[in-house]
Amino acid sequence: MPGPPRRPFRRPGQPFRPGPPPPPKDKGWDPVAAWYDKLVGEDGSDYHKHVILPGTLKLLDPKEGESIIDVCCGQGVLVKPLLETGIARFTGVDASPKLIEAAMKRHGSNPRVKLITADACAPGPWADGSHDAATCLMAVHDVPDPVAMFSNVAKALKPGGRAVMVFMHPCFRIPRQSHWGWDADHKIQYRRLDRYGSQLDIPITTHPGRKSGELTMFHHRPLAELLTAIGQGGMGVVACEELYSHRRSQPGPRSRGEHRAAEEFPMFLALKAVRL
């Protein structure tokens, strides 16, 4: 965690003129912001549109006049659907200046929208206890310190305020450690896990095959550790939804098994917690 900012040197009697604040140490997905913005855009990816956003709104149940903060907001994929529910104020926080800039271009002129460049794992004035609800979409596995992030989410909420977090299901979706397999004898598609119970920091190539060197880090944590981290952060889980893929394979000899697997193995986990 970074220490306090240093005071600029000045000679005795020289008036103090504060300079611009230092940029956040952690710039999140800044190196891959252009790629991610193209992938997700304003309305979201295919999975955002059909699974993640509907699941989030159902569990969050936003109310007219509420203030909602989106932690790790990226380019603001939640701004439009939340504003359409009649909320009074949307605040977005993300460590990537480039993603915040993309969100500003789309929504910065709206007086109900406030966008902040800040590290979700570091203390900040944005966690001010003024919000009715909070969201965090597809980012729990992107931060190295989930307790710090959950603590800041809790601090951003009013007492009793609620938060909805959606992320890759840690029991079934672990990069490089979970795979599909086919059992020809029983004609079933199964899910194979090579590792689950260990903490894993897994580098992910952003552009496979291009050799661009751009990486993001996926932090796998077992479910028990994540639930404990939420509690340590000052929140208690009150509801859970497991979100399944909407996609189905083309007709063929494996389609029945593949369809059943899609209905049995959830892709995402959605948790609703309240500030204690």
Confidence at residue 205, expressed as pLDDT on a 0 to 100 scale: 80
Q: What percent of the chain has pLDDT over 70?
A: 84
Give tens-digit pLDDT for 181-212: 999 999 999 999 999 999 999 998 876 556 66
φ, ψ of residue 144 in degrees (nearest 5): -80, -20
- Give the DSSP letter string of the chain: ---PPPPPP--TTPPP---PPPPPS--TTGGGHHHHHHHHTTT--HHIIIIIHHHHHHHH---TT-EEEEET-TTTTTHHHHHTTT-SEEEEEES-HHHHHHHHHHHTT-TTEEEEE--TTS--TT--S-EEEEEEES-GGG-S-HHHHHHHHHHHEEEEEEEEEEEE-TTT--TTTEEEEEETTTTEEEEEES--SS-EEEEEESSTTT----EEEEEE--HHHHHHHHHHTTEEEEEEEEE-----PPSSTTHHHHHHHHHHS-SEEEEEEEE-
Average pLDDT, stretch 29-43? 68
Residues 129-164: pLDDT tens digits?
Answer: 999 999 999 999 999 999 999 999 999 999 999 999
Model confidence at 4: pLDDT above 60: no
Residue 43's pLDDT band (cuts 50, 70, 90):
confident
Mean pLDDT for the chain overall: 88
Check pLDDT > 50 for residue 74: yes
217-233 pLDDT, tens digit each: 999 999 999 999 999 99
Question: What residues does each domain of the chain span?
Answer: 30-168+221-247+267-275
Return the pLDDT at 15.
41
**How large is the average pLDDT for residues 166-183?**
97
Angle at 29 between CA 27 and CA 67, to 5 degrees: 80
CATH fold label, 30-168+221-247+267-275: Rossmann fold (3.40.50)
Write down the pTM of the prediction: 0.85
Mean pLDDT within 43-66 = 93
**What's the token pair of residue 268?**
């995402």
